[in-house]
Amino acid sequence: MTLEAIDKQYVLGTYARDYTNFVKGVGSTLYDDKGRDYIDFASGIAVNSVGHANPRLTNAICEQAKKIIHISNLQVIEPQAKLAKRMVELSGYDMGVFFANSGAEANEGAIKIARKYGETQFEKKRYKVITLEHSFHGRTITTVKATGQESFHTPHFSPYPDGFGYVPSIEDVYDAIDDETVAVLLELVQGEGGVQPFEKEQVQKLAAHLKERDVLLIVDEVQTGVYRTGEFLASNLYEIEPDIVTLAKGLGGGVPIGAVMTTHKDVLKPGDHGSTFGGNYLSTAAGLAVLDILSALYDSGALHETLLYFEQKLQDIAVRHTALFEKEVGLGLMRGLRAKSAEVQGRIIKESMKEGVVVLKAGRNTVRFLPSLTITKAEIDEGFKRFETALSSL
């Protein structure tokens, strides 16, 4: 049987797969089983933050695997404690950290913290969470309901948990708050919603208002965090202080890990929440290596140079191909080209793959770019050369 046949017979068909079989990666270059190379502008949907086969990360994983991969959270885990300390220091916030395995789990943890806060801190229970239309917060039943896209709320998985409401824009949040509202859950850049950043002043004004109303601000940084937008957190870039921050994707460089950070360090008590695998030796050792690599890149100014170089390349394409694209969007290395239509978007992604460059789709007809943060200028140049060839075929 071919690999495609095995996959189709034995793996549940929840993905519209491309059957290119990647067998190796080096930096931001992938290789398939036929020896063909591809420039990776997707990094596993913002996961491979330090590229493929990064020597420092792979060494950290191998060395840890030789000692201990996993014990339970009933004992202290040294790299977990050290990673929590490092994350708090890099964030600049006075927070505690809970480790999970994914972004959806991190958001579930954030909602549980908010709900308990709403139960214990007020005379009348507060439990409602406001999110924005076009948002995306995960694939579990609760985080699907928190996602502000009706297409995710199909009757197949109902009934959904109540207590979630959606508004079209940040300006609409104010009127949506009532005496049962406990939190607002917000992506500062909507990734799945079309790589759409919000205005800094808008966000700052909302953050100040929520503090006045004693409503928690939860910032979903599953995709924007770990230097993706240029700072350790997009919250740092927006100069706000959230009550809760969620992280995942790029934190482990490919090893599954999620995290909830919160200023409300005493809300959860032993037994309120937990995870068998969350924050184990392997994932937190990987996280420490990733933060060592990326913080050094940030401190040297090399990360900023890469962001500017990549952004300029995209802007040049948007200017030259106005028949295909409306505009260039995004922040840092979380960027997109807004295509004229969903049909154009789909054709561009398919043709790009044919030319040996991996790009992604996002809502609002956007062709999405999420390269590793360690991508070289040579890889960027080659990737855009191939992307231009793909565009010329349309």
CB-based contacts of 380, cutoff 8 Å, min separation 6: 306, 309, 310, 313, 371
Do residue 240 and residue 151 come from a single domain? yes
pLDDT at residue 363, rounded to an integer: 85
CB-CB neighbours of 4 under 10 Å: 11
- The residue from 265, 299, 333 where one domain ends is 299
Query: Is 394:164 a contact under the CB 8 Å cutoff?
Result: no
Please identify every stretch of the chain with a pLDDT value under 70, giving residue numbers as ranges: none
Query: Is 195:366 a contact under the CB 8 Å cutoff?
Result: yes
Dihedral sign, Cα of residue 75, residue 76, residue 78, residue 80: positive
Q: Which domain holds residue 234?
A: 58-299
pLDDT at residue 361, rounded to an integer: 93
Query: What total of structural domains would you count in the chain?
Result: 2
CB-based contacts of 108, cutoff 8 Å, min separation 6: 100, 138, 140, 142, 143
Do residue 270 and residue 332 come from a single domain? no
Do residue 112 and residue 253 come from a single domain? yes
CATH number for position 84: 3.40.640.10
What digits encode the pLDDT tens for the residues 280-319? 999 999 999 999 999 999 999 999 999 999 999 999 999 9
Provide the b/e sequence for 203-240 (b: ≥16 CB within 10 Å).
Answer: beebbeebeeeebbbbbbbbbbbbbbbbbbbbbbbbeb
54/296 Cα distance (integer angstroms): 14
Do residue 340 and residue 329 come from a single domain? yes
Do residue 245 and residue 325 come from a single domain? no
Do residue 202 and residue 332 come from a single domain? no
Structure tokens at 157: 């998985």
Do residue 112 and residue 168 come from a single domain? yes
Which residue from 227, 224, 264 is spatially nearest to 244, judged by alpha carbons? Answer: 264
pLDDT at residue 393, rounded to an integer: 87
> Scanning the structure block, which residue is given the tokens 């991190």?
106
Do residue 245 and residue 358 come from a single domain? no
What digits encode the pLDDT tens for the residues 378-393? 999 999 999 999 999 8
- The angle formed by the CA atoms of residues 377, 383 and 386, to the nearest 5 degrees, is 145
- The residue from 277, 299, 321 where one domain ends is 299
The tally of CA atoms less than 13 A away on the side-chain side of residue 39 is: 20
* Phi–psi pair at 154, nearest 5 degrees: -75, 155
Pairing verdict, β 216-220 and 244-247: parallel
Do residue 260 and residue 364 come from a single domain? no
Do residue 366 and residue 293 come from a single domain? no
The CA-atom distances, in angstroms, between 128 and each of 1, 85, 88, 181 are 51, 31, 28, 4
- The residue from 242, 271, 299 where one domain ends is 299
pLDDT at residue 194, rounded to an integer: 85
Do residue 295 and residue 306 come from a single domain? no
CATH number for position 320: 3.90.1150.10
Please state the pTM of the whole predicted model.
0.95
303/291 Cα distance (integer angstroms): 13
pLDDT at residue 193, rounded to an integer: 80
261/246 Cα distance (integer angstroms): 6
The CA-atom distances, in angstroms, between 139 and each of 18, 87, 117, 261, 351 are 21, 25, 24, 20, 29
Structure tokens at 46: 């913002």
Do residue 31 and residue 173 come from a single domain? no
